[in-house]
A = this chain, B = another copy of it.
Amino acid sequence: MKICVLGGDGYCGWATALYLSKKGHSVSVVDNFMRRQWDHELGVQTLTPIQPLSDRLKVWREITGETIELFVGDVTDHDFLASTIETFQPDAVIHFAEQRAAPYSMIDRKHAVFTQVNNVVGTLNLLFALKELAPDCHLIKLGTMGEYGTPNIDIEEGYITIEHNGRKDVLPYPKQPGSFYHLSKVHDSHNMMFACKIWKLRATDLNQGVVYGTVTNEVELDEALVNRFDYDEVFGTVLNRFCAQAATGHPLTVYGSGGQTRGFLDIRDTVRCIEIACLNPAAPGECRVFNQFTEQFSVLELAHMVQTAARKMGLIVDIDHLPDPRVEAEEHYYNAKHSKLIDLGLSPHYLSDSLLDSLMNIAIKYRDRVDPSLFLPQVQWRNARNERRQALSSAAAVSLTEGAF
């Protein structure tokens, strides 16, 4: 298939592009390197030393003989996006090209507005480009499990049958997102459902859980292909952060009681889920939703698992309960369905001891690159404005002081 990966230089996008290329698909990557720009803005770096995209693609070609075509530009620039779709004529477009960090969207008004405009306009542009230039192309869009929030009933996959006052209908599952970022994905989902209805587009909305891990069969072919491993308080996902903390002897930072339960998955399952969606396209006019995760954990459970894995390696790590910077239930019911991708053939990589060991090993391998001042949450949901740079300086100062004793 001809598959276009929007945001193919990012964490999930890069792993996906290589996986699909290896599987023999004709893959193109669209990226504007904004994800790298945000690292500069925030003063953070991925734990793993990722290479420039041009180098990555060159090494990929040398090793595998496969060429991944590159289109450099911004999906919010409709002329660019439309010309890319027209040139490449994809059978499927995988849309990862959004701002994906909840804390980033909560820094202040400008970051909230940027996140929503960037994500919503990019997706609107894509919907219009597909309608006009590739109406049979299958849109595979990354949503998030965070769109649902934590309702007190089971979470279904996108839609729910509601019986009410003696009548019945199947309706979009009610959404209670927990950040301006998560809200942007809810907006996208509504826009997509409508576009599929009026224009008979084909779409799959993948409500993905929290992804962990960095190694896939493809990226481990060469050090130059290494994928991101974000551990900072803004872009770092929780399991990666815990591993980086354990590897450097810092306490694991659990927000509140740690009873927050979410869906998680291995990045090797992310790439396989995308392939499954490609190979089983939605019907014209269909906007289907898959919940893309494999296991549920509470944050405290994960902390204990990392603590145990670290102890095996001789690392004694504490668990710190910090005041929750987010506004969220710290204890709640959570039971989210996730059978549709399994039904289509996903064989999950569950979070085993051996995987945790390998995650810890990566964190240990690169631990000299860790900046511990990035562990502590500096973006508070209850503030309209987080002076992150000031907080960063004072946190660094504290850390230095502590280090002196």
A404 within 8 A of B: no
How many copies of this chain does the complex contain?
2
Write out the residue numbers on chain B whose beta carbons fall within 8 Å of the beta carbon of A163.
153, 163
A125 within 8 A of B: yes
Contact (Cβ within 8 A) B176 A172 = yes
Given B117, B124, B160, B384, which contacts A109 in the complex, CB threshold below 8 Å?
A: B124
Contact (Cβ within 8 A) A132 B384 = yes
A101 within 8 A of B: no
A40 within 8 A of B: no
Contact (Cβ within 8 A) B174 A183 = no
A194 within 8 A of B: yes
A11 within 8 A of B: no
Write out the residue numbers on chain B whose beta carbons fall within 8 Å of the beta carbon of A165.
153-154
A–B Cβ pairs within 8 angstroms, 24 of them: A78-B109, A109-B124, A109-B128, A112-B128, A113-B125, A128-B384, A131-B384, A153-B163, A153-B165, A153-B167, A153-B168, A160-B174, A162-B164, A167-B333, A171-B174, A174-B174, A175-B190, A176-B193, A183-B190, A183-B191, A183-B194, A186-B187, A187-B187, A198-B382
In the complex, given contacts A128-B384, A198-B381, what are 20 additional A-B residue pairs having Cβ atoms less than 8 angstroms apart?
Answer: A78-B109, A109-B125, A112-B124, A113-B124, A116-B121, A116-B191, A153-B163, A153-B165, A153-B171, A160-B174, A162-B164, A162-B174, A172-B174, A173-B174, A174-B174, A177-B194, A179-B194, A180-B191, A187-B187, A198-B382
